Chain A
């Protein structure tokens, strides 16, 4: 099984350790992982703003980079969601359709495809709260949603429960959006920051020392809010915990 690792632009630039841990984790699980060297982005910043034509060249580059692999794995549900459901600024050839359908967010790849049943190297003796990115939650369906009358499940929690010593705590509004929203965070910064500050206060009130998520984008925003409010919260990507980070 050949895996193409997609490291989204903001992970590349701001959270390189998330990419490194994702690579190491997949290799630890016995996979052959390539990082296509000319990769950039999935096109989401443009389509999120309605500018689909402006996204076309970026989308075409994505397909060119990742067509050779059996699976494309990405430590960001929001980007995986963009590829699978919104990569439609370019003609939908068989190659494009194939890349779209084999692109997975890391947690669903571990849970649904690899069906990993243990992470013997992982131990995280801290109080942690989980944040699901909205596209990952409501778009990819990584967990049950509080608005729907459906059986409760959570793929990220199922994986985190295999980590020794971890104590999960739940916040008062578990699947309320944190306000990042891609370009929303810049174009509507007032409401965006307010939502982020409300979110990190909720996390602190729940007694969490750490916030984890399969999306660095939301956490980058939340971390910026927590730092500005001087709150004692740390942020760590789920790939890092599953790969054995201790703090």
Chain B
């Protein structure tokens, strides 16, 4: 392979990089610190999917934790992004104002979505873009397939898009005999490993370099024992570049859509969206209808927030504006609903549509960092996933809102101020009321509610628990049913409860022999 294809920064990872404010530009996506071992630890896989049955996130998370090198690397990588995000935030005194503006712009746009969608369609059409409307995933996939058939195209290159994940796009196209090539490095790794992305911004963040070496060895013939990042990136590039250069159709998503200009914006760090959009003669952009902002000036708010929140970098390497087809080429926009209109009508949950898919809530979430994104068994993982996934399938994803401690860090980092942890709590209530939580859990809570509403029952329960802890041998306390005791010691029972102390010291002394 030619040295010319190598990005200059990849030649020497320790070389001094371009400085900003006296510090080397520390690009977060490339800043992983792999851990070494003699025998590579096998990559833990995601949640087991059993049709429509509720996802057992806790089970998949346990398997992730049981792979300590992966878990530690994953936690540290994402915590590193969180710290870099904090550093950027503290560099901007107007940060909290920006969050408020972003939230207000999104809420306004969502409240007048029909108006702005029509404005966009009108202006985009005037720019020469062909605008399509898809009410669901199937319509989206059919529209794209129709364009491919019309062009007699057999290969489509694309940049990363969570919307196409939502639509099961790759699987569908493969079934139609179309070769789909992901051009984002992380997404390409996931495609070659036949695994979904685990994170909306860094799709292969759960993989170590040794995992990638194994995947590439099997799929593109690299050396399985060489997990050097430069080597792996270069092999992938050498393998994928020719596929990109003669693709007939390119696809991107969009981060933002501007109603007043009829244009859209794609933010990437690898430049792969620009390859996908500009090399083939046809560019298709698949876009969720919630991506709209009214005016060009509103973009400034979001572009300042997006990459800082996502990666702790001031801006993405590429912020590409598309307004219409270049000479001799075609540009299509597919506007996709796929449940968004229904979500817009949900009083407690509609503001989840403000999401700009930065992934900050995942990076900060202590449960996500210890579970891996694939443990959620859904297109959207982490805190934002917990409140979006049940809108797609309330039964299959009924367990997900319980995979949270409700600590609220997600809400605080959200650049568009979605009250994520409050919506997680609201989903628990909705699911409990619609009988989408396990009978045992509900029965336990009903029993607890009954005991806690009756002081005499409550006193008896406390006495029984304390007595059991005092009198049972250790093997009987730490049994299979005691989930608390698997990873922790059970608290030692005190000589007496506060209640009985109070009775002895404050009531019986005042009223000897008397009941209060």
Contacts and interface: CB of A to CB of B under 8 A. Distances in A.
A190 B432 contact: no
Nearest to B95: A149
Given A149-B89, A193-B487, 11 more contacts: A16-B494, A37-B455, A46-B452, A50-B428, A52-B433, A61-B452, A189-B486, A190-B62, A194-B71, A195-B366, A196-B488
Contacts of A50: 401, 425, 427-433, 437
19 contacts: A13-B497, A19-B498, A19-B502, A38-B455, A49-B445, A50-B427, A56-B449, A57-B450, A134-B408, A147-B413, A149-B95, A175-B409, A185-B484, A186-B483, A187-B483, A188-B57, A191-B367, A220-B491, A224-B490
Interface in B48-100: 57-58, 61-62, 65, 71, 75, 79, 86, 89-90, 92-93, 95-96
B474 interface: no
B489 A224 contact: yes
A115 B458 CA distance: 35
B407 A14 contact: no
Interface stretch (A156-164, A176-184, A205-213): A176-184
B19 interface: no
B423 interface: no
A170 B506 CA distance: 39
Interface in B392-436: 401-409, 411-413, 425, 427-433
Contacts of B58: 187-191
Contacts of A58: 449, 452-453
B442 interface: yes
A139 interface: yes
Contacts of A46: 445, 448-449, 452
A146 B374 CA distance: 27
Interface-central residue, A37, A146, A147, A186, by most chain B CB under 10 Å: A147
Interface in A4-39: 7, 9, 11-20, 23, 35, 37-39
Nearest to A195: B366
Interface in B464-508: 465-466, 483-484, 486-491, 493-494, 496-499, 501-503, 506-507
A147 B415 CA distance: 11
Nearest to B502: A35
B376 to A, nearest CB: 12
A43 B442 CA distance: 14
Contacts, number: 226
A37 B507 contact: yes
Question: Helix, strand, loop or mixed for chain A's interface?
Answer: helix
A45 interface: yes
A133 to B, nearest CB: 9
Contacts of A186: 483-484
Contacts of B328: none
Contacts of B498: 7, 11-12, 16, 18-20
A231 to B, nearest CB: 11
A106 to B, nearest CB: 14
Nearest to B466: A13
Interface of B: 57-58, 61-62, 65, 71, 75, 79, 86, 89-90, 92-93, 95-96, 364, 366-367, 370-371, 401-409, 411-413, 425, 427-433, 437, 441-442, 445-446, 448-455, 458, 462, 465-466, 483-484, 486-491, 493-494, 496-499, 501-503, 506-507, 516
Q: Which 4 A-B pairs have the closest CB atoms?
A: A193-B487, A50-B428, A181-B405, A224-B488
A12 B459 CA distance: 10
A195 B90 CA distance: 27
Question: In which size bucket is the chain A interface?
Answer: 35 or more
Interface of A: 7, 9, 11-20, 23, 35, 37-41, 43, 45-58, 60-61, 86, 134-135, 138-139, 145-150, 173, 175-177, 179-182, 184-198, 220-221, 223-225, 227-228
Nearest to B71: A194
B494 A179 contact: no
Contacts of A60: 453
A49 B491 contact: no
Contact of A176 (B366, B451, B486, B496): B366
Contacts of A56: 449
B409 A147 contact: yes
Contacts of A179: 366, 405
A14 B494 CA distance: 6
A81 to B, nearest CB: 10
Contacts of B507: 37
Nearest to B515: A37
Contacts of A176: 366, 409
Nearest to A224: B488
Nearest to B62: A190
B491 A138 contact: no
